[in-house]
Structure formats: C-alpha cells, structure tokens
Amino acid sequence: MRPRLDLPAWLFGSIAVGALFGLPFVISKANRIVPGVPVGLVDALGPGSVLRWWVLAVIGVTAVLTQRRWLRLVATGLLCVWFALALGHAAQLLTPPGNAVVRIAPGAGFWCAMASVALLGVDAAARLQLRALARLALLGLVMLVLWAALASGYFDHVSVVREYAVNADRFAHEFSRHLSLALGSVLAAVAVGLPMGLACQGRPWLRQAVLSTLSLVQTIPSIALYGMLMAPLAALAVTVPTLAQWGIGGIGYAPAVVALFLYALLPVVANTVLGLASVDPAVVDAARGMGLTDGKILTRIRWPLALPTIVTGVRVVLVQNMGLAAIAALIGGGGLGTFIFQGIGQTAIDLVLLGALPTVALALAAGVVLDALVEWLDRRRPA
C-alpha cells in the first residue's frame, strides 16, 4: 500500500492539539456550584521535567503517522492515559493541601482532546476487524484500567471523583438499581416478546395489529409513559394489598420497569417476526421432506437461523433502556438519573456528570457486549 496522507488522523490530531493548548484543560472552582477559573494545560501541570512533553509528542506523532492500525490503537490508548494522568496531576497540584471544598473539574480542552483521540482509537479498532472475543477482551481491559485508576487514589482530587466520594453509598445503590431497571425490563420483554413474535408468525392480521399498537407506544414520550402508568399501578396496589407489600405501587420502581418493558417490546417482537420470516422457505420444505415435525423445524431450523436477528433486536433495546432508565428518577424510580436530575436542580455539574458518565459507559458497554454476541451467533449459524 502506497503511504499517503491519512486525512482523519491529521484532522482529529490537529483538533486534539488545538484543544489541549487552546482551550482550558481544567476549571478550578472555589466550591462545587460556583463558576470556575479556566486553567490551561501548561499552567495546570506546573513546573516539572520536560520529559513528559517528549512522551506526549512521541505518542501523538506515532498515533497520527502510523500506517499500522494496532499501533494506532495502542498509541491512542496511551494518549488517553496521558490525558487522564495529566488531569489527576493537575487536580493534586491545584488543590491547596487539606482543602476539601475546592473543585478541579476537567475543562473543554480535556474533553475535546479525549474525545478526538478516543474517536481515532475506536476507528482503528473498528478497522482492525477484531473478532468478538478480542473486542470483549479490549472492553475488559479498558474497564480494568479505569477501575485500577479510580482505586489508586491518584484521581481523588478530580471534581467528579470528589462528588463520588461524597455520595459513595448512594452511588452503589443507584447503580445497581439502574442495572436492575434496564436488565429486568429487557428480560421481561424477551420473555413476553418471543412468544408474541412466534404467535404472529403466519398470522398477518395479528402481526399488523401487534406491531402497530407497539409502535404507537413508542411515540409516547418516556416521561409521559412513566407518568401514565402511575395511576393504574397505584389503583392496583390499593385493590391488591399483597402487591403493595412487594413494593408495587404508583411511584418508584414498578411504573419505571413497566414503562421500560413496554418500550422494549416493539424491537424484540419486530425482530423475532423479521428473523423467523427471513428463513428461506426452501430450507423449511427440505426439512419437512426429511420428515421433521413442525416442532422440530422450529427448534432446530427456524430458531437458530433467526437467533442473530432476534439478538440484534435485544441489543437495540438494552442500549436504549440503559439510557432511558435514567429518566426513571423523575418518578422516584431511582437509578443513575437521580444524580443527573438532582445535579440539574442544584446546578451542580459534577453531580450531573456522576450520573451521566456511568450511564453513557453502561450503554456503550452493553452495545459492545451484545454486538460481540450477535457476531458469535452469526458465525455459528449453519450457512
């Protein structure tokens, strides 16, 4: 291959350099809600060895110039580590000793540089065409590095980590609540949606009715759907006290999980119908010719062939519900949205980020895991 100018690498490389040196790297705030003072990268890092700039330059130049995709992936990963270390160092340097009120927040320069470099890395990873297992391993590595970084204490002075330290107990609770909202609703949707999709098979009138009803549900804004379920569930809890004992009622977990379930139903049913319908009739005929019963044809032929399409539907739904679960907080359903909406209410940006960053991370991770699963199923599918 003739070496030539890699335009995206140059463009995003330049954006990263511009952001690092042209935009504030960190924002220093006197407390968690006042607007802060922007600090550039050079001032934020303070005096120190010139070696760190050389490290940055060498990795950066490698990332932009290299033709090898795996080398670019490694270089962009190292660049992200460099930015993170710089942020942690700046936070330590700018926080007066013993002061627990000052907040050092990542600034626009940090975010833009991180985003453009991460984009280059994701692009390199995508072009490497890693296999499902390798992508999962990469995700695991990223999570491990993140966990180790946060556990090391190096980042304790960064604003979001401070906010976490204040809310640590609640965070664990809301995080698991968020997961249970998103996963529980998707599992329920799969349990109900698969039989529904099967029932629609070969009955066009039923398919039409089910799919158009479910697409109507999709047009209702999420906060309204949550709200609309509050009244019937409250009534249900009053008439059947046993349900109330299980925590089912007008506010909280129940309406949230039912709303998420309703949103999840359409893609699951639609993809089940699509997957089953896309099985070649000739294959089914051949199986019937070989003397297989309808039940065996379903479990041995139709099902394995339709599975990747169905799991693609589950992927859409899981990613979507990881995000939508954040809105459950508005009706007292808990989840990471609690921090987002409290933060918006208090104009405490660090608190907003404490809710928003894990939400985004969960959605992205769910996407990577389910993508890998779809690919694995696709490869196992008999040709």
Partner 1 sequence: MKASGVIRVGVWGLLIAFLLKPQVFAPAFAPLTQHDAPAIYDQGDLATLAWAHLGLVLTATSLSALLAIGLAILVSRGPGRAFLPMSRSLVGIGQTFPPVAVLAIAVPLVGFGIKPTLIALVAYGLLPIFENSLTGLSQVPASVLEAADGAGMSPIQRLWSVELPLARPLMIEGLRQTLVISVGTATLGSTVASQGLGEVIIAGLLSDNSAFVLQGGLITGLMAILLHDAVGLIAQRWQRPVQ
Site for partner 1, rule CB under 8 A: 6-8, 11, 108, 119, 122-123, 126-127, 216, 218-228, 230-231, 319, 322-324, 326-327, 330-331, 337, 340-341, 343-344, 349, 352-353, 355-356, 359-360, 363-364, 366-367
How many CB atoms lie under 10 A from the CB of residue 350?
Answer: 22
Q: Are 109 and 164 in contact (CB under 8 A)?
A: no
In whole angstroms, give the CA distance from residue 163 to residue 354: 7
Q: Which is nearer to partner 1, 184 or 367 (CB)?
A: 367
How many CB atoms lie under 10 A from the CB of residue 231?
Answer: 11
Residues listed for the chain = 383
Q: Note the maximum CA span of the chain.
A: 81
Residue 29 exposure: Cα atoms within 13 Å on the Cβ side: 21
**Minimal distance in Å, beta carbon 302 to partner 1?**
28
Q: Give 128-159 as a DSSP string.
A: HT--HHHHHHHHHHHHHHHHHHHHHSTTTTBH
Query: Sheet harboring 37-39: ordered strands across?
Result: 37-39, 26-29, 103-106
Contacts of 224 (CB under 8 A, 6+ apart): none
Contacts of 4 (CB under 8 A, 6+ apart): none
Residue 38, φ and ψ in degrees, nearest 5: -75, 140
